[in-house]
């Protein structure tokens, strides 16, 4: 597995500016969007398919049931397939809900595991959130980006 870079996400600030950082476009930790290189956005409520590349599917945020409508809304807006952030336990439900729709996957392991298997042909593994804040120091989770096009198209 080739790693193209690291993506950081945090609910607070970082003491440095990473080449790629994920921010929340809505929800409790929303930040006013400033779109551009080095920044991607996460939709935790399932209400911003045009304002975020990632839909956050986890407890307390969007559910797998929101996946098809969210992906369809991105396609209808001419934005292409979006991405789904989820953990290993919700991944099967996300794949089932997507019902063959293509999407990028940001998979959370949060245990140091980077090498994961993704089998459905409609799913493109983009990043693995392997390192929680407790492992890396600052209040940030760190993901390895394993998709070259995602990295080169978004990193600063």
Neighbouring CB atoms inside 10 A of 151's CB total 20
CA distances (Å), 150 to each of 29, 64, 77, in order?
Answer: 24, 23, 20
pLDDT band, residue 94 (cuts 50/70/90): very high
pLDDT tens, residue by residue, 24-60: 999 999 999 999 999 999 999 999 999 999 999 999 9
- How far is Cα 43 from Cα 85, in angstroms, rounded to an integer? 10
Is the pLDDT at 138 greater than 90? The verdict is: no
Q: So what's the pLDDT on residue 114?
A: 95
Is the pLDDT at 137 greater than 90? The verdict is: no
Greater confidence, 71 or 12?
71
pTM of the model: 0.96
Domains of the chain: 5-154 (3.20.20.80)
- Of the chain, the percentage scoring pLDDT greater than 90 comes to 93
Once rounded to an integer, what is the mean pLDDT over residues 125-144? 94
Q: So what's the pLDDT on residue 57?
A: 98
CA distances (Å), 28 to each of 48, 61, 64, 99, 147, in order?
Answer: 14, 10, 20, 30, 29
């Amino acid at each position: 597995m080739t790693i193209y870079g690291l993506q950081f996400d945090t609910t607070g600030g970082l003491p440095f500016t990473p080449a790629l950082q994920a921010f929340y476009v809505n929800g409790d930790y929303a930040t006013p969007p400033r779109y551009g290189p080095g920044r991607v956005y996460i939709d935790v409520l399932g209400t911003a398919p045009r304002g975020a590349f990632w839909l956050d599917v986890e407890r307390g945020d969007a559910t797998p049931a929101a996946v098809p409508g969210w992906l369809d809304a991105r396609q209808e807006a001419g934005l292409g397939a979006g991405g789904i952030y989820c953990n290993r336990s919700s991944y099967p439900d996300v794949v089932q809900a997507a019902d063959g729709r293509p999407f990028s996957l940001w998979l959370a392991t949060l245990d140091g595991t980077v090498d994961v298997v993704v089998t459905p042909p409609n799913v493109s593994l983009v990043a693995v959130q392997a390192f929680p804040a407790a492992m890396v120091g600052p209040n940030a989770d760190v993901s390895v980006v394993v998709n070259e096009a995602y990295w080169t198209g978004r990193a600063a």
